[in-house]
Amino acid sequence: MIESLAVTAASESWAVSAQTLATELSLPYLGVVSAVAVDDYPQLLEVGETLKLCTTGRKAPGPVWVDFVGGAASHRRKFGGGKGQQIAKAIGIRSGSYPRVVDATAGLGRDAFVLASLGCEVLMLERNPVVRALLDDGLRRLREAAEADPELAPIAARLSLDESRLPAAEWLRQQPPESIPVVYLDPMFPQREKSAKVKKEMVAFHRLVGADEDADGLLDPAYAACYYRTVVKRPRLAPFLAGRKPSLSLEGKSGRFDIYTRHGMSRHGPSRNESPANQ
C-alpha cells in the first residue's frame, strides 16, 4: 500500500502487536530494529508504548505521535486561553453553548482535542490509514490516563474517531441534510519545507500525508450536512476553499478561520446530545 513505509517493534514484547498492525495496513514488518539502522525505507511506524512515525537515517528528525495527555496538548488545555481562542470563537463556543463538531480532516487531532477540552463533543474523520492508527493509539493512551485523572475523563468521553473509514466527502454525503451542528475542515495545505515555522518532524508528516489536492470537494458536502456552520482553517494568505467567499473570517498572525454560516446559533445552543435538525 505505502512502499515508503514499514513497521517495526520497539522491543520483542511488542513484536506480535507490530506484526498485527503491519498486516492491517498491508505494510512490511522489519522486526525489532532502530530507525537509525534502516536504509531501505524513508519512514517507519514503530510499535511500542506509543505508536510513533519515525524518519530513518542518522540525521533524521524526531518521531511524530499523537499526544493528548502531555506536552503541547496539556499546556494548551491549561494555558491556551479557553473560550477566548480564535478556534473557539469560530466554532461558536460560548457559555452554555458547546456545539457538536465533526472534524472531517482530523490529522493529528490537535484541534479536535482543543475543542473537546473546551466542552464540545467531537467526532474525528481521517482517511489516511497510518494517521488513523496514530490517532487510535493517542485515544487509547488518553482513555488510560483518564482513568486516573478526573480532569481528562470528561474530555476523553467527548472525543472519538469514526470507525467507518470512509473518505470525509463520502461520509458527509451520507449524513442527513443539516444534521451536524458544526463541520470543521483543516485540509493539508502545501508546506514550504524550508520555512523555519515548519518543524522538521512535521515536514516528514507532510511528506507522508501530502497536500489534500481534492480539498475543494469537501466544502459542498460539509455545508450540506451542517446546521449552524462549516468552519475552514486556512493559512492567512491562502485562497478560499473552492474559491467560495465565507460569511466571515477570523484572521490571526499566520492563519485564519473562514466561517460559512447556514443558521444563526441560538442564544444557549443545543445540548451536546441534541440534533438541531430535530429541534
Residue whose C-alpha cell is 458547546: 98
Specify whether the backbone of 43 is left (phi greater than 0), alpha (psi in -120 to 50) or beta. Answer: beta
Q: Which amino acid is at 12?
A: E
User: For 154-188, how does the pLDDT look when each residue is reduced to its tens digit (9 = 90+)?
Assistant: 999 999 999 998 999 999 999 999 999 999 999 98
Binding residues: 110-111, 126-127, 186
Q: What are phi and psi of 123, to 5 degrees?
A: -105, 125
Confidence of residue 143 (pLDDT cuts 50, 70, 90): very high
pTM metric for this prediction: 0.89
Q: How many CB atoms lie within 10 A of CB 40?
A: 9
Q: What is the pLDDT of residues 218-231, one digit of tens each?
A: 999 999 999 999 99
Beta strands in the chain (DSSP E): 5-9, 29-32, 43-47, 52-55, 101-103, 122-124, 159-161, 180-185, 226-235, 248-251, 255-261
pLDDT in tens, 261-275: 999 886 544 444 444
Which amino acids are annotated as binding site for S-adenosyl-L-methionine, given as ranges?
110-111, 126-127, 186
Looking up cell 478560499 gives: 240
The answer, yes or no, to whether residue 117 has pLDDT greater than 80, is yes
Amino acid at 187: P
Work out the pLDDT band at 278, boundaries 50, 70, 90: very low
Least confident of 38-42, 96-100, 143-147, 206-210: 206-210
Percent of the chain's residues with pLDDT above 90: 70
Nearest one of 192, 235, 234, 189 to 212, comparing CA atoms: 189
- Give me 40's grid cell: 531501505
pLDDT at 235 over 70: yes
Q: Which fold has domain 71-278?
A: Rossmann fold (3.40.50)
Half-sphere exposure (Cβ direction) of 159: Cα atoms closer than 13 Å: 29
What's the burial of 192, exposed, middle or buried (CB within 10 Å: 0-12/13-18/19+)?
exposed
**pLDDT tens per residue, range 8-36:** 999 999 999 999 999 999 999 999 999 99
* Predicted pLDDT at 2: 53
Cα 217–Cα 112–Cα 216 angle in degrees, nearest 5: 10
